[in-house]
C-alpha cells in the first residue's frame, strides 16, 4: 500500500521536501509492484516466477540501495537540471543496484522510467504546478523526449538492443520518447477503472499489469520467447481481460494458472512490470498532490 505522506508536492513545501516525497513514493510503488500477486511470470514475494537468478530478497536489496537515487533524481528535476545530469544519476543508480544484487539486473527499466517521472514531478513541484498524469506526460514528452532521442545511447549488448535488432521494436527508450503511451493510455486507466469499480488495490494492480501485457511489445518477452512467446502472453492476457478480468469470481485462480503457464515457458513480462510500477507511482503522486491541495 502506498504510504500516507503529510507532505504536499506543491508549495509552500520546500523543494527538498518535495524531492524527498517524490523519491519515497517511487520506492513505495516499486515495493507495491513486488508485492502484487498473482503476477504472471514475474518475481513476487510468493516465488521467483520465470527467473532463476533473482527472488524477492534480491529485489528488496535493490530497493534499499535505490532509495537515495530517486530522491536525487527528483531533486535534479526541481533544479531544472539538464538531461545529461539525469543520465549520470541513472548510471549511478544502476551501479548501486548491481552492487546490492551481486550483478543481477532487477530494476534497470524501472530506474529509467521512474527516474524520468521523478524528474518530471520535481520540475512541476518547483513551479508550483499540479502534479498529475497529464502534466507528467507533457513534461516527459516536451522536455525530455528530444534529449532521449538525441543523447541516450543504446548499449549494443543490452536485451533491448538485441530485441530491437532482431524484431524491430523500440522498447523502453521509444516508450519514453513517446511520452509513455502504455503507461498513460493503458495501465493507469486500467488501474483507476478497477479501483472505481470497487476492486481491492492488489486486484487493481493485477488488472493494470495484464492490460499492459495484452498490448505492450514487451522486449523481455521477446528476448525470452521470441515473437511466439510474446504472442502467447498477449493472447492469454487478452483472454483474461475479456472474461471479466479481476471483476469476477475465480479471477485469482485463472491468474495463478496463467502464472504457471508463463513460468513453464520461461516467459517474464518485465517491461509490463515496469509499466505497472510507473502506474502505481503516478497514481500515488496524484493522490498526494490532491491531498496537499485539499489541505
Determine how many CB atoms are found less than 10 A away from the CB of residue 207: 25
210 within domain boundaries: yes
Helix (H) or strand (E) holding 184: none
What cell numbers appear for 282 in the block?
503516478
For every residue of 38-51, which 3-state class applies, written as one string? Answer: CCCCCCCCCCCCCC
234-281: pLDDT as tens digits: 999 999 999 999 999 999 999 999 999 999 999 999 999 999 999 999
Does 1 score more than 60 pLDDT? no
Whether 177 maps to a domain, the answer reads yes
Rounded average pLDDT over 27-41: 97
The b-or-e profile of 38-77 (16+ CB within 10 A means b, else e) is bbbbbbbeeebbbbeebbeebbbbbbebbeebbbbbbbbb
Backbone angles phi, psi at 190, to 5 degrees: -65, -40
- Look at residue 6 and tell me if it is in a domain: no
What is the band of 293 on the pLDDT scale with cuts at 50, 70, 90?
low
At residue 43, the pLDDT reads 97
The parent domain of residue 124 ranges over 15-294
Q: Which of 30, 46, 27, 29 is nearest to 38 (CA)?
A: 46
| Any domain includes 1 | no
Res. 220: pLDDT tops 50: yes
Residue 4 lies in a domain: no
How many domains, the chain? Answer: 1
For residue 90, being part of any structural domain is answered with yes
Does the residue 214 lie in any domain? yes
Domain assignment present for 87: yes
Amino acid at each position: 500500500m502506498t504510504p500516507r505522506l503529510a507532505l504536499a508536492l506543491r508549495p509552500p513545501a520546500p523543494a527538498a521536501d518535495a524531492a524527498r516525497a517524490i523519491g519515497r513514493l517511487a520506492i513505495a510503488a516499486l515495493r507495491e509492484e513486488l508485492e502484487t500477486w498473482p503476477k504472471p511470470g514475474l518475481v513476487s514475494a510468493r516465488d521467483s516466477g520465470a527467473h532463476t537468478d533473482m527472488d524477492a530478497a534480491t529485489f528488496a536489496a535493490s530497493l534499499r540501495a535505490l532509495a537515495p537515487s530517486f530522491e536525487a533524481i527528483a531533486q535534479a528535476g526541481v533544479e531544472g537540471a539538464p538531461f545529461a545530469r539525469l543520465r549520470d544519476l541513472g548510471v549511478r543508480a544502476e551501479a548501486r543496484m548491481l552492487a546490492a544484487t551481486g550483478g543481477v539486473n532487477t530494476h534497470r527499466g524501472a530506474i529509467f522510467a521512474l527516474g524520468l517521472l521523478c524528474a518530471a514531478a520535481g520540475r512541476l513541484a518547483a513551479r508550483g504546478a499540479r502534479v498529475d498524469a497529464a502534466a507528467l506526460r507533457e513534461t516527459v514528452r516536451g522536455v525530455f523526449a528530444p534529449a532521449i532521442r538525441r543523447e541516450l545511447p543504446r548499449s549494443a549488448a543490452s536485451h533491448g538492443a538485441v530485441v530491437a535488432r532482431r524484431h524491430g521494436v523500440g522498447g523502453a527508450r521509444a516508450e519514453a520518447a513517446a511520452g509513455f503511451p502504455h503507461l498513460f493510455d493503458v495501465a493507469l486507466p486500467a488501474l483507476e477503472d478497477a479501483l472505481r469499480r470497487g476492486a481491492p488495490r492488489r486486484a487493481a494492480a493485477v488488472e493494470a499489469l495484464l492490460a499492459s501485457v495484452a498490448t505492450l511489445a514487451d522486449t523481455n518477452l521477446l528476448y525470452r520467447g521470441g515473437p511466439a512467446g510474446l504472442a502467447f502472453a498477449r493472447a492469454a492476457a487478452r483472454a483474461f481481460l475479456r472474461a471479466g478480468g479481476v471483476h469476477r469470481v475465480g479471477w485469482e485462480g485463472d491468474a495463478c494458472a496463467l502464472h504457471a503457464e508463463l513460468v513453464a515457458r520461461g516467459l517474464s513480462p518485465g517491461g509490463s512490470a515496469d509499466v505497472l510500477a510507473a502506474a502505481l507511482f503516478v497514481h500515488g503522486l496524484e493522490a498526494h498532490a490532491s491531498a496537499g491541495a485539499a489541505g
